[in-house]
């Protein structure tokens, strides 16, 4: 069975379990009605079936109501418990069972829609490998990670994940640290560089001295941060409960008045039943469920109604850069020619030299050459200088590709024009790879993490909706951050951040009383996503843990969907207010009829159910509601299609200009980026 089939079967089982109680309650009600209608068996038999339906569907609600009474809290559960207890006491068993059935259906819907368990947090530590290769002298042995000790020498080959936090003692490689640090390109690691558990070794063999294992690793610390952040979210008292505080005593007084004036206890029961705030109780969850379903069809998953309410109150939007505002992969964005060379010639020279390199930037160069239909022959005398560049030969020409310092060390002349252009590219947040032929620099290839085409439009639309404070957070250096912020229209940014730094920023803003939304995509964003008032994750590229830690998931990685979510949240809030208005009208009219003695308990249930149906129909209309399309206009779709990356570009988790190895794995805000 495939994973998709397993997930689908699990979902069906969940729906079956949630539908079990409402289904049994309905079956008991129909059985009771049938026995009474056709006079089958003694009266106590059909009454017993109805009473069994009440206890089966309402036991948990009754227990909650009794507990709330002892806590001196007046809630909807208290109201329902009192109303149904009196109804049962006067023998109106089926009327009580119908009320319970309605509430059981609503409860099942809420459980399925709003209370999905966040399972990925428990599995986060499995992101690190379960075993490690340890070197003892001249031989290697594979051992469980749990048996590793500080100062053990661990060997990690290309394509393997690093099992511990440690320091490289031998070898060199590009390591993808995006899941931990948010660093947008794989970071070059040489002797003395620090590495994290759970990161991916991409290109070379490393020997690492163990510094931290188990619960002490950065990955384990992130798990702890997520758990703590989730616990800080206090439950929100429902509007229905606050309404019931004053409504319940009022209804009791009216029921007493009805009984005293009529002398019929059934009049009091009818008043209690018609006033039962079921329509009021579902006014919010029904509208929220419809809004969630609407957004799900538009590839936006929302985990609870409270986030609709909070979305309309956002003061600050924090947005991770890599993988959120950008595609998170290197791409050739410009080719600058000099000394009479053509762009195609420069690209071909760079691609020939980089053809055998496994570095992500080399892949970007080769991919662009193939995209343009260039033939890329094999180089000769190919040699990589880690952290600097590549030398190669082809067709009697020597080729040097890399940093400007690397070219000069190899005796290549670099004109002032090319030097100025390299600096200009760095100031724009790009990596400039210089290309020299026969000891003369002939141009450069600029590579950058490509900004998503819809990003600038989405930022503009969010500002038009009243979210004026948008702050970009990134693990990249400040030059890259400034260049991206300028292009997308974001005024504020903070660079060189680790996961705890992002979480600290969220805490500080919330302490100031601001409603904070956080948008991210990686494990490193998970603690901040969990702590923010609204955590929003880019789902397709996002990790499972980030999706589970977040409250809203943009499944198609389109930031414009965030605009849809904010707009839909406002529609849902307006519909909730309309539903509350309807429920109050029905309650008021029903109370009036009940006090006048015009309702029997059964009619009271039907009248009360009519209010529920009205609210459900009102909420269902949201299913066909369309959010504004400011971020998804036809022009925007054409632009996105035109700017979509080619299939030939190699995908990586996160990209940015290269940076030097850093044993602390932290970005130096002053670093402009290096090539190898």
Query: Cα(542)–Cα(557) distance, rounded to whole angstroms?
Result: 9
Grouping H, G, I as helix, E, B as strand and the rest as coil, residue 182 is coil
Helix, strand, or coil (residue 75): coil
The rounded distance, in Å, linking the Cα atoms of 613 and 633 is 36
- CB count, 10 Å around CB of 493? 20
Catalytic residue among 241, 320, 525, 551, which? Answer: 320
535-552 burial, b for 16+ CB within 10 Å, e for fewer? bbbbbebbbbbbbbbbbb
| 164 Cβ contact list (under 8 Å, min separation 6) | 132, 145, 148, 152, 154, 197, 208, 210, 211, 212, 213, 217
- Tell me the C-alpha distance between 256 and 236, whole Å: 33
* Alpha-helical segments (H) within 476-599: 478-488, 499-511, 526-531, 544-549, 560-595
Q: What is the DSSP letter of 130?
A: S
Active site residue 320: yes
List the beta bridge partners of residue 331: 448
Tokens of 36: 């009474």
Q: Are 233 and 118 in contact (CB under 8 A)?
A: no
Distance CA(31)–CA(49), nearest Å, equals 7
Name the token pair of 294: 């609407």
Tokens of 41: 């068996």
Contact 161, 198 (CB under 8 A): yes
d(CA 357, CA 340): 27
Phi/psi region, residue 521 (left: phi>0; alpha: psi -120 to 50; beta: rest), is alpha
Strand 534-538 to 516-520 pairing:
parallel
DSSP letter (8 states) at residue 321: I
Q: How far apart are CA 369 and CA 147, in angstroms?
A: 47
Residues serving a catalytic function are 320
């Amino acid at each position: 069975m495939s994973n998709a089939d397993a997930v689908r079967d699990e979902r069906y089982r969940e729906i079956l379990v949630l539908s079990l109680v409402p289904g049994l309650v309905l079956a008991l009600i129909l059985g009771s009605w049938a026995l009474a209608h056709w006079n089958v068996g003694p009266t106590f038999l059909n009454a017993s079936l109805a009473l069994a339906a009440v206890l089966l569907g309402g036991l948990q609600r009754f227990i909650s109501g009794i507990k709330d009474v002892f806590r001196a809290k007046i809630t909807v559960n208290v109201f329902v418990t009192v109303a149904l207890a009196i109804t049962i006491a006067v023998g109106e068993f089926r009327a009580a069972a119908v009320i319970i059935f309605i509430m059981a259906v609503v409860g099942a819907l809420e459980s399925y829609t709003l209370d999905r368990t966040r399972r990925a947090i428990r599995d986060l530590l499995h992101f690190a490998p379960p075993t490690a290769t340890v070197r003892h002298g001249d031989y290697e042995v594979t051992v469980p990670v749990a048996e590793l000790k500080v100062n053990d020498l661990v060997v990690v080959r290309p394509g393997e994940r690093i099992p511990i936090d440690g320091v490289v003692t031998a070898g060199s490689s590009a390591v993808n640290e995006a899941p931990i640090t948010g660093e947008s390109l794989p970071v070059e690691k040489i002797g003395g560089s620090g590495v994290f558990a759970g990161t991916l070794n991409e290109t070379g063999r490393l020997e690492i001295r163990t510094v931290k294992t188990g619960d002490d690793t950065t990955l384990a610390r992130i798990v702890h941060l997520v758990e703590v952040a989730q616990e800080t979210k206090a439950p929100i008292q429902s509007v229905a409960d606050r309404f019931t505080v004053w409504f319940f005593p009022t209804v009791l007084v009216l029921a007493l008045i009805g009984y005293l004036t009529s002398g019929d206890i059934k009049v009091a029961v009818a008043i209690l039943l018609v006033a039962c705030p079921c329509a009021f109780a579902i006014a919010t969850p029904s509208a929220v469920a419809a809004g969630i379903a609407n957004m799900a069809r538009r590839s936006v998953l929302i985990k609870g109604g409270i986030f609709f309410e909070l979305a309309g109150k956002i003061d600050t939007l924090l947005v991770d850069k890599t993988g959120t505002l950008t595609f998170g992969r290197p791409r050739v964005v410009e080719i600058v020619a000099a000394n009479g060379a053509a762009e195609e010639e420069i690209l071909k020279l760079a691609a020939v030299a980089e053809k055998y390199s496994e570095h992500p930037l080399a892949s970007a160069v080769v991919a662009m050459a193939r995209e343009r239909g260039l033939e890329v022959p094999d180089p000769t005398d190919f040699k990589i200088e880690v952290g600097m560049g590549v030398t190669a030969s082809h067709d009697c020409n020597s080729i040097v590709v890399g940093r400007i310092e690397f070219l000069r060390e190899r005796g290549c002349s670099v004109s002032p024009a090319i030097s100025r252009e390299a600096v200009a590219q760095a100031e724009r947040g790009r990596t400039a790879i210089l290309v020299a032929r026969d000891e003369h620099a002939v141009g450069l290839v600029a590579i950058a993490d490509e900004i998503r085409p819809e990003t600038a439009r989405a930022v503009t639309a969010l500002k038009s909706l009243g979210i004026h404070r948008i702050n970009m957070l990134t693990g990249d250096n400040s030059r890259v951050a400034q260049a991206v912020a300028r292009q997308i229209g974001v005024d504020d940014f903070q660079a060189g951040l680790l996961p705890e730094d992002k979480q600290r920023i969220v805490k500080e803003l919330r302490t100031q009383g601001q409603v904070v939304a956080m948008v991210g995509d990686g494990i490193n964003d998970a603690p901040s996503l969990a702590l923010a008032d609204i955590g929003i994750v880019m789902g397709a590229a996002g990790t499972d843990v980030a999706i589970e830690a977040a409250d809203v998931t943009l499944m198609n990685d389109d930031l414009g969907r965030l605009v849809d979510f904010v707009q839909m949240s406002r529609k849902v809030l307006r519909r909730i207010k309309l539903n509350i208005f309807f429920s109050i009208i029905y309650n008021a009219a029903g109370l009036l009829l009940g006090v006048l003695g015009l309702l029997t308990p059964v009619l009271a249930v039907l009248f009360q159910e009519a209010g529920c149906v009205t609210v459900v129909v009102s909420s269902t209309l949201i299913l066909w509601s369309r959010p504004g399309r400011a971020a998804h206009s036809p022009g925007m779709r054409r632009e996105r299609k035109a700017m979509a990356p080619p299939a030939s570009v190699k995908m990586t988790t996160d990209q940015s200009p290269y940076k030097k190895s850093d044993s602390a794995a932290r970005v130096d805000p002053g670093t402009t980026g290096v090539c190898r």
